[in-house]
Structure 1
Amino acid sequence: MEKIWFDSWDSLLRVICIAPLAYIAMVFLLRVSGKRTLAKMNAFDFVVTVALGSILASVALNKNIPLANGVAAIIVFIGFQFILTWLAVRVKSVKTVITSRPSLIFYKGNFLQGAMKKERITEEEIYSAARKDGLSTLEEIEMIILETTGDITIIEKISDHKETTFKDVRIER
């Protein structure tokens, strides 16, 4: 209990030296790994992001974890994400496992209560999203989709379109 405020100058100096190095290594590795690593997050991306943050904090604060071990762990997690996302683009079953599909939650003036319950989203959240898009009435809206990232996309009334962007949206009524 005596070292609650200050441990030693050595430990403080270690944090001051190691934390920036670990941070620089992580930023470099994230840039090298490509834009997909920093894209809007689905559940899989969120787990990797939390793990990377935990590794960075552990390397910075734990005297028993050398910088090289921390950088190796960061490489493993970024590599794992790279491999899984590479596979997801090429193998449909992998994509199905690591990402969800967008869900239709409002269609032609009707809230799709079953889909809303499944996705745990309220009418108030839908109203809020409509207001953020500058819409004053739901009559202006053709459909509302809950995206795989948790974002809400609002599509205004549709005129005659031959092909739409809604092919992959799961519809549950």
Structure 2
Amino acid sequence: MSHLTPPLSSTSTGAETLAVQWTPPAGWADTIGLELGIEAWRIPLVIASGVLIYLMFLVFVRIFGPRILGKLASFDAVVIVMFGAVAGRVIIGHPPTLAAGVIGLLTLICMEAAFGAVQDLRGIRHAISGNPIVLVAHGRFVAKNMRKAHVTKANIYAAARRSGITCLEQVKCIILEPTGELSIIREGTNMDPEMLTGVVGRDLI
């Protein structure tokens, strides 16, 4: 009875459909070149985008203070992740490819290495990273410096709790570092004056 035998065309069509699903429409060779490679004219654009994004990030850190680099609140961490997403998309461009990503990362690494090498020069280090700044001196807030650094009392209280400080009277000084971290020195601790070189507000300690 012929109606019980599956038509050969149905089986053949299914195999062809399966093959199409695993094979790019343009073929593997063209697709790999498109997804992983990069046109030569895009290379200088990726490099220029990486350099400009790096420089603009340095400018924004100088404007808004190193606080944005520190993990002073959960929202700050979200913002840092968003910075990375936006910067990465701008640098890689469209379409995003493996080669573009590698070139973008290499550009950022080279920029970081170059600026790291010149930061030994005091003037350049100050222009790039700024100086550490005193936010609390002998248990008292330094309001002017806090406004300049865009740091709130809540940020300082949170950092003090993490360090086991139960009241600000236990604090000799709290210094915001160029990295965005808060350094906390307890009252009664002797400090080498050299440790305060370049610190804004060191005369308050």
**TM category, shorter:** 0.5 to 0.7
Find out whether 1:131 has 2:161 as its counterpart.
yes
1:79 match: 110
Report deviation, 1:157.
1.1
1-structure distance, mates of 2:155, 2:90? 35
Report deviation, 1:164.
5.4
Percent identity over the alignment? 21
1:96 to 1:51, Cα distance in 2 relative to 1, 3 A:
farther
Q: Deviations over 1:28-86 (max 9, x none)?
A: xxxxxxxxxxxxxx949x79x84896169837x726x572x443333233212211211
- What TM-score do you get using the length of structure 1 for normalisation? 0.60
CA contact (8 A) 2:92 2:104 kept: no
2-structure distance, mates of 1:93, 1:10? 57
1:139 to 1:76, Cα distance in 2 relative to 1, 3 A:
same
1:62 match: 95
Q: What is the total number of aligned residue pairs between the two structures?
A: 137
1:10 to 1:129, Cα distance in 2 relative to 1, 3 A:
farther
Instruction: Give matches, 1:93-112, under 5 Å.
Output: 93-112=123-142
1:107 to 1:62, Cα distance in 2 relative to 1, 3 A:
same
2-structure distance, mates of 1:86, 1:162? 27
CA-atom RMSD in angstroms: 4.0
2-structure distance, mates of 1:157, 1:72? 49
Q: Deviations over 1:104-131 (max 9, x none)?
A: 0110121101111111111122111111
What SS class does the counterpart of residue 165 from structure 1 fall into? helix
Aligned AA (1:109): G
Please list every run of 5 or more consecutive structure 2 residues that lacks an aligned counterpart in the other structure. 1-22, 37-59, 63-68, 70-79
Higher helix fraction (1 or 2): 2
1-structure distance, mates of 2:84, 2:193? 38
- What TM-score do you get using the length of structure 2 for normalisation? 0.52
2-structure distance, mates of 1:162, 1:86? 27
1:139 to 1:58, Cα distance in 2 relative to 1, 3 A:
same
1:77 to 1:125, Cα distance in 2 relative to 1, 3 A:
closer
2-structure distance, mates of 1:161, 1:97? 26
Report deviation, 1:162.
4.7
CA contact (8 A) 1:144 1:153 kept: yes
